[in-house]
Amino acid sequence: EPIVQFVVAPEDIFDGDIPNDDSVLAEFDTLNLFETDRQSGFDRIETGSRVTIGGRYQRIFNDGFSFKAAAGRVFRIEDITDFSPNSGLVDDESSYVASLDVSYRDWAEVRSSWRFSDDLGIERADILATASYDPFNVYASYFFVEKDAAIASPVNRSELTLGGGVQLDRNWSVSANARRDLIADRFVTAGAVLSYVNECAGFDVYAKRRFTESVSAPEATTFGLRVRLFGAGGGDQ
């Protein structure tokens, strides 16, 4: 499915009277590739005339295998400065964005989202893989994003998360996960949960360890009990 979108808009409509509090961070990916406004809040709207070129492809096989992909890029009449420098949206030609999802029945799925520079260097990557085979389930996720001082992210981020769980019986289950910073080569968090769920409520006993620290939040281990009531207010509470 090839797609071409034309947007005509003024180049500069902000005179500085409105402070930018809620439109600082912009996520640029295939989900909002054809949005007419990619600003994240109400203090700014996306300005400038532009053409967006991209495409989508999807195929579903009889054996339960499915494949979905998308990619595209934005071309502007003039450069704009409304977005942060490393958002992928500031030049007259944006970064490339792409996504690839592959699944097989309800057993396994891989979802990925990418952003590439002009020379196809990776600016951002977000990958999630899940697999389940009753009563087990496992998942792994990887996240990378280049530094962007304009949004208080002065260093590259690269993190790997692993987790999984076991359904012990109809009501009881246990799960655990750990997240590691691959650049600093240290764990960020790790935790485990024992859950009991019936028709009326869910009870989670959990333990969580945070390995990072700051001036106001030192390393800590937390234990707790979480109660979820089903049906109260029309949803989980």
Mean pLDDT of the chain: 89
Q: Are 54 and 3 in contact (CB under 8 A)?
A: yes
Tell me how long the chain is: 237
The structure tokens 């070129």 sit at 53
Of the ranges 39-43, 156-160, 220-224, 231-235, which one carries the lowest mean pLDDT score? 231-235
Rounded Cα gap, residues 200 and 228, in angstroms: 9
Q: Are 208 and 190 in contact (CB under 8 A)?
A: yes
Q: Which helix (H) or strand (E) holds 130?
A: strand 122-133
Rounded Cα gap, residues 8 and 219, in angstroms: 51
Task: Assess whether pLDDT exceeds 60 at residue 235.
Answer: no
Instruction: Please give the average per-residue pLDDT across 149-168, as a whole number.
Output: 87
Q: Are 82 and 61 in contact (CB under 8 A)?
A: no
Closest among 87, 57, 90, 53 to 73, alpha carbons compared: 53
- Which amino acid type is present at position 122? I
Q: Are 166 and 136 in contact (CB under 8 A)?
A: yes
Q: Are 96 and 61 in contact (CB under 8 A)?
A: no
CA distances from 65 to 98, 106, 138 (A): 20, 10, 19
**What is residue 73's predicted lDDT score, i.e. its pLDDT?**
96
**What is residue 7's predicted lDDT score, i.e. its pLDDT?**
93
Rounded Cα gap, residues 36 and 50, in angstroms: 10
Two tokens, residue 136: 């087990």
pLDDT tens readout for residues 126-141: 999 999 998 999 999 9
pLDDT tens readout for residues 62-114: 989 999 999 999 999 888 777 877 888 888 899 999 999 999 998 999 999 99
Q: Which spans in the chain are helix H?
A: none
pLDDT tens readout for residues 13-54: 766 677 777 777 788 999 999 999 888 888 788 888 999 999
Rounded Cα gap, residues 105 and 228, in angstroms: 30
The structure tokens 């003039």 sit at 78
Task: Assess whether pLDDT exceeds 60 at residue 234.
Answer: no
Two tokens, residue 171: 């009501």
Q: Is the peptide bond before 19 cis (omega within 30 degrees of 0)?
A: no
Higher per-residue pLDDT: 229 or 154: 229
Rounded Cα gap, residues 226 and 216, in angstroms: 25
Q: Which helix (H) or strand (E) holds 108?
A: strand 108-116
Task: Assess whether pLDDT exceeds 50 at residue 237.
Answer: no
What are the backbone dihedrals phi and psi of residue 232, each rounded to the nearest 5 degrees, phi first?
Answer: -75, 115
